[in-house]
Amino acid sequence: MNRLTIIGASGHGKVVADIAGLNGYTDIVFLDDNESVKECGGFKVIGNTKTPVEGDVFIAIGNPQVRKRLSEGRKVVTLIHPHAVIARDAVIGEGTVVMAGAVINPNARIGKGCIINTCSSVDHDCVLGDFCHVAVGAHLCGTVKTGECTWIGAGATVSNNIDICGNCTVGAGCVVVKDIDEPGTYVGVPAKKIGGGES
């Protein structure tokens, strides 16, 4: 069976479906809890998140906590765009998607259920926890570590040798030059926690 069921009929789901097609899937369907959504990217929505699934599954949900919850008890596939650049010794966890133009350099370790978005980069020796998102055009310099469920926003830059704890949101265009050890939302150049001090 060459079916892929994508959970999450959204813009993110459209991109995932395109990558799935480039990975050889010819029978692609969606599940979504919004009953008004009938199709996504030209593919049918055939049920909701409680619908029984046959074949392979991918979770195309942006929210990391929801992505984590929906991944539990499922064997979720990994999808890599053929125009991503991935070092031979990089490790990419189950349920992760790597999109067009992304670069993952040597000895990087990407956790389960991550999103490495369009034209982002994860440099040498980085370690990303499960269910992280490196958004469009974001860049992690060498030896960056992120905890679980952290979101690096579009166009953000994380300097080398930086540790970021789990459950953080790094805003679009943000520049992180110091370790972040407290969950929360960080914005600006250099990064500052909203309602808190400089990081």
Which amino acids are annotated catalytic?
Answer: 124
- Statement: residue 112 has pLDDT above 90: yes
Number of domains the chain is built from: 2
- Rounded Cα distance between 141 and 120, Å, is 11
Q: Are residues 84 and 59 in the same domain?
A: no
Range 150-169 average pLDDT: 97
The predicted pLDDT at position 1 comes to: 57
Q: Are residues 33 and 131 in the same domain?
A: no
Instruction: With cut-offs at 50, 70 and 90, classify the pLDDT of residue 75.
Output: confident
The predicted pLDDT at position 199 comes to: 58
Q: Are residues 93 and 169 in the same domain?
A: yes
Range 174-188 average pLDDT: 96
Q: Are residues 95 and 169 in the same domain?
A: yes
Q: Is 64 a domain residue? A: yes
Q: What is the CATH number of the domain that holds 41?
A: 3.40.50.20
Q: Are residues 50 and 100 in the same domain?
A: no
CA-closest candidate to residue 47, choices 95, 84, 6, 78: 6
- Statement: residue 60 has pLDDT above 60: yes
Contacts of 37 (CB under 8 A, 6+ apart): 9, 30, 45
Q: Are residues 99 and 24 in the same domain?
A: no
Q: Are residues 91 and 168 in the same domain?
A: yes
CA-closest candidate to residue 5, choices 38, 37, 49, 42: 49
Query: Judging by DSSP bridges, how do beta strands 3-7 and 56-59 pair with one another?
Result: parallel
pLDDT more than 70, % of the chain: 97
CA-closest candidate to residue 10, choices 20, 33, 21, 25: 33
Q: What is the CATH number of the domain that holds 151?
A: 2.160.10.10
The predicted pLDDT at position 110 comes to: 98
Coil, strand, or helix at residue 43? strand
Q: Is 191 a domain residue? A: no
Q: How many CA atoms lie within 13 A of 163 on its CB side?
A: 3
Q: Is 192 a domain residue? A: no
Q: Is 197 a domain residue? A: no
Range 53-68 average pLDDT: 93
Q: Is 169 a domain residue? A: yes
Q: Are residues 97 and 123 in the same domain?
A: yes
Q: Are residues 138 and 180 in the same domain?
A: yes
**Cβ 159 vs Cβ 136: under 8 Å:** no
Q: Rounded mean pLDDT of the chain?
A: 95
- Identity of the residue numbered 152: I
- Statement: residue 197 has pLDDT above 60: no
Q: Which domain holds residue 160?
A: 80-186
The predicted pLDDT at position 191 comes to: 95
Q: Is 48 a domain residue? A: yes
- Statement: residue 198 has pLDDT above 60: no
Q: Is 194 a domain residue? A: no
Instruction: With cut-offs at 50, 70 and 90, classify the pLDDT of residue 195.
Output: confident
Q: At which of 45, 71, 97 does a domain end?
A: 71
**pLDDT, tens only, 91-111:** 999 999 999 999 999 999 999
- Rounded Cα distance between 139 and 128, Å, is 13
